[in-house]
Structure 1
Amino acid sequence: MASNESGTPPQRHLPGHIAAALAGAGGPADSAGQPWAGRSLAGDDARIHNFEDDDGTADAGYLTAVTALRAGRGDEAAVVASLATARVFIPIVAQLAEEAEGQDGLQADKQANMALVTLKAADGRTAMPAFTSAKALAAWHPEARPVAVYAARAALSAVSEGAELLVLDPGAAVTFVVRRPAMWALAQQHDWIPSYTDDVLAGEMRRAAAGFPAVRGLELLPGRGVAAQTADGSVLAGGGAGPELQVVLYLADGLDAAGVQQLVAGLQAEWSRNVLFGERVDSMEIKLRRAVH
């Protein structure tokens, strides 16, 4: 049986418990819970951040986790776990508000509001940038203002903006992408388990596959999109944008191309109806193998 692949970056609706957490936080806000909307460049709004004695350097725990990942001693789950207590910087930029006409008929002074920055990933998804140090943010966008927030707050703000990715330090020596399931877990301050190491998820997917007699086995492995590349060309075993999950299906002989296509479509439909799958899988690729008798 020839190998086949299919990539699936499904769109996911926001689970109710995450939507509730977002509503309770008042939407996109800074570390003090104050919304970005309507901010000016004057007075207290011009302060860089609200963290006392913060020298603007990257969180030590995050640096340790990334160093271990680069050396092959750590994994991406440890990097995400390090963000649970880390401070990051969110870039906000000035946007010109509507000018008002003064009493003399002249235009009044221009007012600048502050806005969160979002990006478009290569696959079209919305991504929010965040930076582990003020220096990294300044190198990326010298005119952006760094506002310090805990990474969990940054993740929650990313969710509120409709972002499916949180991108740490874009343009830096190491850029680490926090994919949607990890971002949601971080926003809720829950632990994150990568889908390719998730035994509970594997059990759910195998139960769904049991309804398809031609499927003789199923294995979950890291997808090609788990890996990320550093600026110097080194490969990291984590931090990529996906697909992060490779599903290996071991099939019985006798299926033609149309039968295989129908089987895979049926399985994907069955998995997509599973709430756990929807929350824990960002995107996947499927490989087909002949079952060993």
Structure 2
Amino acid sequence: MGGVTEGPAHRPLPGHITAALAAAGGSADSAGQLWQGRSLNPMQTYHNFDDDDGGTDAGYAAALAALAAGTGDEAAVVQTLATARVFVPIVAEVAEVAQSQVGGNSLMSDKESDMALVTLTAPDGRRALPVFSCTANLARWHPQARPVAVYASRAALSAVAEDAQLLVVDPGAGQTFVARRPGLWALARQERWQPSYADPQIAQVLAASLAAVAHPALLGITAEPGSGIVSADSTGRVCAGGGAGPELRVDVALADGLDRGELDALMTDLQRLWSSDEYFAVAVDSLEVRLQAVR
């Protein structure tokens, strides 16, 4: 007796893809065929985020709200990104071909189009990779960009591969968060990150430099949050985290009486000790020094 072979069950496109397609070209493709009713083979996994509606990860949203309210910190925000889905913007780049070429379809072409990862240049010249917590934020930022859903840790790996020093979440949105280089690297390595100003090992490096220099005018060295860690949302509310840096402020307490030459020599010795420490060089994104005169 002959059996009956059933076709694959209809499986809807992921929500964020449907939304992006609708925003890009309405309810139909370029040939006029409706997106509605399209199916994917349920025996294959096409996408890690099939049930994703394109919204913001709940854990990331909660950590960002706590940061804005003053009850959270930026380390907690980065920690939520370790398991969060984000969208990387991809845009088409048209490149001129030196000579007309015949393609596999026997048609002549003098241009080629490639898909490119978008990177930004920060005010200090560093390279930054923009990512978005939701498709709506990406569409507002660049309507022609295609949203590619990835885990933030994978986006961080892409940022490292692109020699980017910053991961910028939701640029141009109501609240933007920047993961600086040490946090970016921690995401890429899937390690927990703590900012250098709260890192006991950084405090140990500073204490060791105080002992190594042993200058009678050098009274103390402490680590504090840098002036550049703060960020502001679209309403002007300031958050204690999420800024591009400087990340670490080193307060150096000095007794009165040093002339300019002695001060320069002392600071040169300290900065040489800090920069030569391997852990300090990796864990500190950017540094500012504040001299405090003690009378």
Q: TM (normalized to structure 1)?
A: 0.79
Provide the residue aligned with 1:63 in structure 2.
61
* Structure 1 residues 203-256: Cα deviation after superposition (integer angstroms, max 9, x where no partner): 012102322213221111111101001111110110001001110011233211
- Once the two structures are superposed, what CA deviation does each residue of 1:159-207 show, in whole Å capped at 9, x if it has no partner? 1101000000000000001000000111100000111111111101210
Instruction: Tell me what 2:262 maps to.
Output: 259
1-structure distance, mates of 2:75, 2:60: 12
What is the distance in 2 between the residues matched to 1:265 and 1:123? 23
Instruction: Give the share of equivalent positions with the same residue, in percent.
Output: 54
Distance in 1 (alpha carbons) for counterparts of 2:200 and 2:169 = 28
Which of 272, 289, 292 is matched with 1:289 structurally? Answer: 292
Superposed CA offset, 1:23-56 (max 9, x none): xxxxxxxxxxxxxxxxxxxxx9xxx965211100
The correspondence for 1:231, drawn from 227, 231, 234, is 234
**Further displaced range: 117-126 or 204-213:** 204-213
Larger Rg: 2
Q: CA RMSD in A?
A: 2.1
C-alpha change, 1:49 and 1:225, in structure 2 (3 Å) is: farther
Alignment of structure 1 residues 182-197 onto 2, 5 Å = 182-197=183-198
Matches within 5 A, 1:89-128: 89-99=87-97, 100-102=100-102, 107-108=108-109, 110-128=111-129
Alignment partner, residue 81 of structure 1? 79
Amino acid at match of 1:86: A
* Runs of 4+ deviating beyond 6 Å: none
**How many Å separate the matches in 2 of 1:72 and 1:49?**
37
Residues 195 and 280, structure 1, Cα contact 8 Å, conserved in 2:
yes
3-state SS, counterpart of residue 183 of structure 1: helix
Could you tell me which runs of 5 or more consecutive residues in structure 2 were left unpaired when the two chains were aligned.
Answer: 1-39, 41-45
Amino acid at match of 1:276: Y
Distance 1:165 1:124 in 2: 11
SS at match of 2:148: strand
Higher RCO (CA-CA < 8 Å; seq separation 6+): 1
Cα distance in 1 between the residues matched to 2:126 and 2:88: 19
Partner of 1:69, secondary structure, is helix
Tell me, in whole angstroms, the C-alpha distance in 1 between the residues paired with 2:52 and 2:110: 34
Partner of 1:139: 140
The residue type paired with residue 161 of structure 1 is E
- Judge conservation of contact 1:49–1:146 (CA < 8 Å) in 2: no
Alpha-carbon distance, 1:106 to partner: 7.2
Distance (Å, rounded) in 1 between the aligned partners of 2:274 and 2:157 = 26
1:217 aligns with 2:220: yes
Contact 2:96 2:110 in 1 (8 A): no
Match of 1:271 among 274, 281, 289: 274
1-structure distance, mates of 2:148, 2:67:
27
Q: Which ranges in structure 1 are unaligned for 5 or more consecutive residues?
A: 1-43
Shift of 1:152: 0.5
Count how many residue pairs are aligned between Structure 1 and Structure 2: 246
Alignment partner of 1:198 is 2:199: yes
